[in-house]
Amino acid sequence: MDYSYAPLLFFAGIGAAFAIFSVVGAGSLAGPKRYNRAKVDAYECGIQPSPQPEGGGRVPIKYYLTAMLFIIFDIESVFLYPFAVSFDRLGLFALIEMVIFVLTVFVAYAFVWRRGGLEWD
């Protein structure tokens, strides 16, 4: 039997135990219990949660646009990071490729910018 994964399991166990202890155990044992409106609300990235009308309601479509833009640039940075880390070994070819990649993303950016995708209202 191969025990090389044992430490992983061990750490996972400790992590789970810590999570359970801190959320369920410690909080309920030690914390003061003073509820207010903000505390029982759902957590939405720190902004005011949208009101919940009957039937679930709608989230403004603009959120999606922002989220999509975020994903585009997020993925760009995900590509840029490993490139930056091993830039010295990759050489000129990779630099050119990366510049092309960034340029194509900028084309998309230019489109969004010119067509008013960055304006909130």
Partner 1 sequence: MTSPATFTQAHISYAAVVPMLVIFGAALVGVLVEAFLPRAQRYLVQLGVTLIGLVASFLTLVLIARNNRGVTAASAVVIDAPALMLQGTVLVLSFFAVLLMAERFDTKYPDAFTQSGASVPGSPTETNAVRLGATTTEVFPLTLFSVGGMMLFVASGDLLIMFIALEVLSLPLYILTGLARRRRLLSQEASLKYFLLGAFSSAFFLFGSALVYGATKTIQFGALADAVASTNGRDDILIPGVFLIAVGLLFKVGAVPFQSWTPDVYQGAPTPVTGFMATTVKVAAFGAMLRLFYVALDGLQWNWQPVLAVIAVLTMIVGSVFAVTQTDIKRLLAYSSISHAGFLLIGVVALNKTGLSGTMFYLVAYGFTTIAAFGIVALVRSSGSEATHLSQWAGLGRTSPVLAATFSFLMLGFAGIPLTSGFTAKFALFSSAVGHGATWLVVVAVLMSAVTAFVYVRIIVLMYFSEPTGDTQVVMPSPLTGIAVTAGALMTLVLGVAPAPLLNLAQHSALFMR
Asked if 66 is part of the footprint of partner 1 (rule: CB under 8 A), the reply reads no
Amino acid identity of residue 81, one-letter, is Y
CA gap 73, 106 in Å, rounded = 10
Q: How far apart are CA 26 and CA 9, in angstroms?
A: 24
How many residues sit in the footprint of partner 1 (CB under 8 A)? 13
Residue 32 or 116: the one with the smaller Cβ distance to partner 1 is 116
- Two structure tokens written together for 83: 């490139």
Question: Residue 87 interacts with partner 1 (CB under 8 A)?
Answer: no
Question: Interface residues for partner 1 in 97-116 (CB under 8 A)?
Answer: 104, 107-108, 110-111, 113-115
Rounded to 5 degrees, φ, ψ at 99 are: -60, -45
58 binds partner 1 (CB under 8 A): no
Nearest distance from C-beta of residue 61 to partner 1, angstroms: 9
DSSP 39-62: HHSPP-TTSPPPP--GGG----TH
Q: Is residue 93 a contact point for partner 1 (CB under 8 A)?
A: yes
Residues forming contacts to partner 1 in the complex (CB under 8 A) are 86, 89-91, 93, 104, 107-108, 110-111, 113-115
